[in-house]
Chain A
Amino acid sequence: MVSQSTIERPAAAADVQTRGAAPRIKLAVKDLTISYGKAVALKEVNLEVREHEIFGIIGPANAGKTSFLKALNRMDVFTPGMRVNGDIEFNGRDTRHLNNIYALRSRIGVVFPLPVGLPMTVYDNVALSPRWRGITNKADLDVIVQRCLTRAALWDEVKDRLDALGSLLSGGQQQRLTIARALSQEPDLLMLDEFSIAVDPVTTMRIEDVLKELRKEVTIILVTNLVQQARRLADRTAFFLNSECVEIGVTEDLFTGEVKDRRTRDYVEGRFG
């Protein structure tokens, strides 16, 4: 293990972290509205994500789930036409008026719906982010690569071919490689956007087990269109529909308890969508 103290993170990265005790609220979103030109993708969302929880977001296509993740990551800066209004606090710091968006992004790991194995070796895929933050020592990198691949449940399958191209792994392996790459950022927050869309059920279950382990260390936002996946994993879940956050609650309550909005129950029980 390479402990945090031996890895020098750029001063800018520490910039995002708050001083003092870790806050219980990892992420606070207030009156978040996202629009692309005249089209509104998400309207006045208010929610909080707690430290070390798996926060599920369910909802049909075009509900604004992916736009929500992009706003958290400040991807609006790199997305032409995307406008974000409202407050987002990450670790108690306002991210809407952050000078160093790169430091913010390096603290947030993202996994996409379709696996993205970058066209470089498996090793380089995982070592990319550590190298960018200044770790060049081969021994340190070896440790990080092995640890991240192990945590992503991929190490046993690729340990003999770390020199193979990441883009040539199978879909399920590439998705776990993407997770390993996200973990190599040593993220505070891991955001998964419908990660199981291109992954077989067995691999999905393996990744879900990985996520259950990971929650001890990182906070996870899990966007999924599989209602049962949210039920299996998420502590609390938000239901997005037609650019609105319809419901937020303890996941099990969405299925069995009281719900504010009838559409929530209809959706989780599969009556529409």
Chain B
Amino acid sequence: MTTDNSVMFQASSLNRRNEKVQGLYRILFGLMTLMLVTPVLLILGTLVAKGGGVISWEFLFTPPTDGMRTGGVLPALIGTVWLVMTALLLSVPIGIFAAIYLSEYAGDNWFTRTINLAIINLAGVPSIVHALFGLGAFVLFFGFGTSILAASLTLAVMTMPVVIVSTRESLQAVPQAFREACWNMGATRWQTIRRVVLPNSVTGILTGVILEVSRTAGETAPIMFTGAVFFTPFLPQSVLDQTMALSLHLFVAATQVPGIAEEVPYGIALVLIGLVLTMNSASIAFRMWLRGKKKW
């Protein structure tokens, strides 16, 4: 080794190799990201190219006619909004409260570990199994019949783990030191949660809700047996009514209706994605507004 200054800052062969390796990894990670984005762009592109033509005010705001070959998607659009909103109303409060209990109150013992395991398993249950559960429990046992209520309850049970897990994660992300500072001042657990923990985890909780909206709106199997119908020209008047839903309508239009114009299913899919994006962008905007006030 020499300490000659002229040599000191010259790249050694090891330096050059490290730099080359790091460059390769950078390209690899970049390519993976690109691969991730490609299907999204392809799907959206195809939908817009093939289905964009049928989108009009009339398509959005009239019921299907002529055995669903023509007309619009209004009952399905409204039905999906009903289903998503009712499911959110049922699962978000329960999910958030359960997550608060698990994260802030429950000790680490076999009981809570069992609950956590159950939540993870619930998230892994296939949606068709949830559908059969919903049929047995809500439609038949509780006697709600095939209705928005039964379908939303099924969707709520299915998406609850997402809300619980994401809420718990964002609660845990709040530094423990904040809690201890409050406890040491004589605050109860709830005062601490209310003033410090929740305000600083609300953006993360909203992310879970956004995920849930997307999943709920798109699910077909759970609602097929519990509340969504093939066709009805009527808009739902209460949660005890049956309804059409965009996801099921898309499935029906794509596979069950002979002689339908090819672009109609694409149009329905586009409406579904548009609806999800609209609902999400509202909560994303809210989240960005909150994040603008990010506290630490």
Contacts and interface: CB of A to CB of B under 8 A. Distances in A.
Interface string A110-145: 101010111110000000110010000000000000
Interface string B159-186: 0000000000000000001101111111
A114 B188 contact: no
A119 B200 contact: yes
B195 interface: yes
B296 interface: yes
A167 B187 contact: no
B296 A119 contact: yes
A29 B212 CA distance: 53
A102 B184 contact: no
B187 A132 contact: yes
A102 B188 contact: yes
Contacts of B196: 118-120
Contacts of A132: 185-187, 191
Nearest to A100: B186
Given A119-B200, A119-B295, A106 B183 contact: no
A224 interface: no
Contacts of B187: 102, 132
A112 B188 CA distance: 19
Interface string B190-233: 01000110011000000000000000000000000000000000
B107 A80 contact: yes
Contacts of B108: 80
Contact of B177 (A108, A114, A128, A182): A114
Contacts of A109: 184-185
A112 B296 contact: no
Nearest to A115: B177
Contacts of A75: 180, 183-184
Interface in A152-200: 165, 167-168, 178, 181-182, 185
A110 B185 CA distance: 8
A71 interface: no
Nearest to B175: A116
Interface string A96-112: 00000011111111101
Contacts of B195: 120, 128
B184 A105 contact: yes
A105 B183 contact: yes
B186 A185 contact: yes
A102 B239 CA distance: 45
Contact of A119 (B178, B180, B186, B191): B178
A73 interface: yes
Contacts of A104: 186
A73 B107 CA distance: 20
A272 interface: no
Contact of A120 (B107, B185, B189, B295): B295
A61 to B, nearest CB: 18
B186 A116 contact: no
Nearest to A102: B186
Nearest to A105: B186
A106 B185 contact: yes
A105 B185 contact: yes
Contacts of A114: 177
B177 A112 contact: yes
Nearest to A78: B183
7 contacts: A78-B189, A102-B186, A112-B181, A119-B200, A120-B295, A167-B295, A185-B186
Closest 9 CB pairs between A and B?
A106-B186, A119-B295, A105-B186, A167-B296, A110-B184, A116-B181, A119-B296, A102-B186, A129-B185
Interface of A: 73, 75, 78, 80, 102-110, 112, 114, 116-120, 128-129, 132, 165, 167-168, 178, 181-182, 185
Interface of B: 107-108, 177-178, 180-189, 191, 195-196, 199-200, 295-296
